[in-house]
Amino acid sequence: MTPAADVATPFFVEGRGAIAIALLVVSAAIIGGILWARAGGRVKVRRMAGLDAVDEAVGRATEMGRPILYVPGIMDMDNIMTVAGVTILGRVARTVAEYDAELEVPTSRSIVMASAREAVQSAYLAAGRPDGYNPDRIYYVSDEQFAYVAATSGMMARRRPAACFYFGCFYAESLILAENGNAIGAIQIAGTAETAQLPFFVAACDYTLIGEEFFAASAYLSGEPDQLGTLLGQDVAKAVAWIAILGASVAGTVVAAFLGAGPVADGLAALRQAMGGGG
Amino acid sequence: MSRSMAVLLASLAGITMVLSKFIAPLGDAEVKVADWFNVLAAIAFVLGGANLLKMNLLAISARGPGWGYSAVTLCAFLVTLGAGILKVGVPPAAAFPAVPFSGEKDVNGSALWWLYEYAMSPITGTLFAMLAFYVASAAFRAFRAKNAAAMFLLATAFVVLLGRTYAGVLATSWIPHDNPWVSWLRLENLSAVIMSVFTNAGTRAMIIGIAIGVAATSLKIMLGLDRSYLGGAR
């Protein structure tokens, strides 16, 4: 028997206990929120200007007789932002179907194209306009980031969409797309969780959904109790995080100022390390 | 039925991925699921290629605005595909000198390598370089001092930008750097404080919200509460 075989492999991955507890707390808060909403509990959702403007943008495009561009980011369906982007596409497509406007969805991944087609077709069916659905307007361009941007920007310059929606995962192409949209005078609404791209969208778009707002958009647009319940759960989870941060900060300050080394300091250091903190 | 199956598969894959982060024997599940996804994506690429052909052929036959670009796209697509599949200019591998097509498709000197080095790479670089102009035009609009908040933003941006240049360091070099009461006023220090305290605090707040949003969205998918990405409501 080799020495390595004597060492039993632990069942649980070491050092991830605190993360597991945080995950359980967040999950419990979200499931609790869903159950609360299902039981008829009131869920107050603040107005989100960016999402309220969807109707206005689609209406404007309809009046002008120009298409609506929807970009679901440049990543594949294994990215949660792309999934959220396709979900929002379904909601936007329903409004587009009701207005009988024209929707254009260039995609940079084949699976995203297939998924977007399903979502849009379903939206047109739900709106009672199955004949208005045109699968050719949801098409694949290229997996290459800048090839996709060049094709989409060219399409924007030629077809001049009156409304542009950017919901998904974006990198350097965010500013190129948003600036081109700005140049053609389109109403632009963007949403992403890529924090590095948010300033570009804020600078170039009319409305931007920042971070968590992007993930809340689907629930907001659906208005379903289950979906709204998740928003309540998210707020509860944020409150827990807020209390934990405040409590740990106060405890850390007290320890540093008055107590010095000891069991409390050791506990705080262990917690800090478990949550991925340095030093 | 097929949609329920898809939801079940998505839930199983999602739960396995989460558990693999905490349960050691499931450690390689993440890699395996990612491999499955890559296989699916490779199959789906055929769908994408067929769609690309169809859409561009339609555009050329309709002679609509920009049909010339479609022709260029089709030519580039077919030439690249042919160069890759037929391994044009690829010598046999050293281990199998008598076997044609045994070399790597993108070896130095091959047609595919040439296309990448002398067409793809410069075009991509050109587009990326254009970002500088887009940043300038976006910054011009964003930093217009039209109200108090915009002026504050402009002043902060000015300090951060200047603090990261030699000119900024030189401009406040007369402030003693060894006096803690005034050294923070040096532009490079002020810039560092803005980035590491104010910007960092705001970014972290956003990241916490995003993490909780990701957890909520994932949970909705794993519980089958949100199926709209598959084209159906609940």
d(C-alpha A163, C-alpha A55), whole Å? 10
Interface check A215 vs B, CB under 8 A = yes
The arithmetic mean of pLDDT across residues B141-156, rounded, is 87
- Of A171, A142, A136, the C-alpha closest to A154 is A142
Query: Which of B3, B11, B210 to mutate to test binding with chain A, by most A CBs within 10 Å of its CB?
Result: B210
Contact B214 A178 (CB under 8 A): no
* Token pair listed for B50: 């067929």
- Name residue B50's amino acid: A
Chain B residues with CB under 8 Å of A117 CB are 231
Chain A residues with CB under 8 Å of B55 CB are 136, 139-140
Beta strands in A111-186 (DSSP E): 138-140, 163-167
pLDDT in 10s for each residue of chain A, 279 residues: 455 555 677 888 888 888 899 999 999 999 999 999 999 988 888 888 999 999 999 999 999 999 999 999 999 998 999 999 999 999 999 999 999 999 999 999 999 999 999 999 999 999 999 999 999 999 999 999 999 999 999 999 999 999 999 999 999 999 999 999 999 999 999 999 999 999 999 999 999 999 899 999 988 888 888 889 999 999 999 999 999 889 888 887 887 777 777 777 777 777 777 666 654
The predicted structure's pLDDT at residue A254: 83
In sequence order, the 6+-apart residues with CB closer than 8 A to the CB of B201 are none
Interface check A10 vs B, CB under 8 A = yes
The predicted structure's pLDDT at residue A279: 47
Task: Give the C-alpha distances (Å, rounded to integers) separating B181 from B12, B176, B177, B196.
Answer: 59, 10, 10, 19
d(C-alpha A41, C-alpha A39), whole Å? 6
Distance from CA of A30 to the nearest CA of B (A): 7
User: Helix (H, G, I), strand (E, B), or coil: what is residue B23?
Assistant: strand
Q: Which of residues 41-70 of A touch B (CB under 8 A)?
A: none
- Name residue B42's amino acid: A
The arithmetic mean of pLDDT across residues B23-46, rounded, is 86
Distance from CA of B89 to the nearest CA of A (A): 24
User: Helix (H, G, I), strand (E, B), or coil: what is residue A1?
Assistant: coil
Among A255-269, B9-23, B145-159, B170-184, whose mean pLDDT is lowest?
A: A255-269
pLDDT tens-digit profile of B71-95? 999 999 999 999 999 999 998 888 8
Distance from CA of B228 to the nearest CA of A (A): 5
pTM, whole model, 2 decimals? Answer: 0.89
Is the per-residue pLDDT at B166 higher than 60? yes
Are A184 and A161 contacting, i.e. CB atoms less than 8 angstroms apart?
A: yes
The CA-based dihedral angle spanning residues A114, A120, A123, A128, taken in that order and rounded to the nearest 10 degrees: -110
Contact A30 B219 (CB under 8 A): yes
Chain A residues with CB under 8 Å of B73 CB are 151
Chains A and B: how many Cβ contacts under 8 Å? 199
HSE-CB for B35 with a 13 A CA cutoff: 5
Are A230 and A34 contacting, i.e. CB atoms less than 8 angstroms apart?
A: yes
> B166: left (phi > 0), else alpha (psi -120 to 50), else beta?
alpha
The arithmetic mean of pLDDT across residues B30-43, rounded, is 85
The predicted structure's pLDDT at residue A3: 54
Q: Which of residues 143-172 of B touch A (CB under 8 A)?
A: none
Mean pLDDT of chain B: 89
d(C-alpha B167, C-alpha B149), whole Å? 26
User: Helix (H, G, I), strand (E, B), or coil: what is residue A69?
Assistant: strand
The predicted structure's pLDDT at residue A275: 65
**Partner residue facing B212 (CB), from A10, A26, A146:** A26
d(C-alpha B147, C-alpha B152), whole Å? 9
- Residue B13 neighbours by CB distance under 10 Å: 17
d(C-alpha B89, C-alpha B59), whole Å? 33
- Residue A42 neighbours by CB distance under 10 Å: 8
Supply the ipTM of this predicted assembly: 0.88
Contact B212 A195 (CB under 8 A): no
d(C-alpha A117, C-alpha A123), whole Å? 10
Chain B residues with CB under 8 Å of A243 CB are none
- Residue B32 neighbours by CB distance under 10 Å: 12
In sequence order, the 6+-apart residues with CB closer than 8 A to the CB of B81 are B49
Interface check A172 vs B, CB under 8 A = yes
The arithmetic mean of pLDDT across residues B97-117, rounded, is 89
Distance from CA of B134 to the nearest CA of A (A): 6
Element holding A246 (H helix, E strand) = helix A225-254
d(C-alpha A47, C-alpha A38), whole Å? 21
d(C-alpha B197, C-alpha A180), whole Å? 34
In sequence order, the 6+-apart residues with CB closer than 8 A to the CB of A61 are A67, A68, A99, A101, A102, A161, A162, A163, A187
Long-range pairs for B185-190 at CB < 8 Å and ≥24 separation?
B187/B159, B187/B162, B187/B163, B188/B163, B188/B164, B189/B163, B190/B159, B190/B163
Contact B142 A176 (CB under 8 A): no
Q: Which domains does chain A have, with CATH numbers?
A: 49-222 (3.40.50)
